[in-house]
Structure 1
Amino acid sequence: MNPLAQDEGLTLEAELRQALQHQRAAIEQARETQVQLERLIARAWKLLDSQCGSAEPDT
């Protein structure tokens, strides 16, 4: 294999690995954000219930 092509392939592989790591980190952050939002929504429903009676929608 051409050494230049091999170097380019290794560089590309490293860039792809880094992009994958960033994507995984972004997914994990999104999951954490979702959990936080779900907790805030639950707290908001509890506050509404305490202020207005049962405010939860029928499911």
Structure 2
Amino acid sequence: MSVLISILITFLVVVLVLWLVQRLPMEARIKQILQIVVIIIGVVSLLRYLAVF
């Protein structure tokens, strides 16, 4: 059950950070790079919770 809660919290944090990146007044290219980095970090942490790593 704690794994499911951790996955849900990670997903919510990734969505929140992606939303905040969209709200920042930055150049579009920098926003795109930040979004990719956030998604990669989110996927890696989800895989860690699923005991892949």
TM-score in terms of structure 2 length: 0.49
The structure with more radius of gyration = 1
TM-score in terms of structure 1 length: 0.45
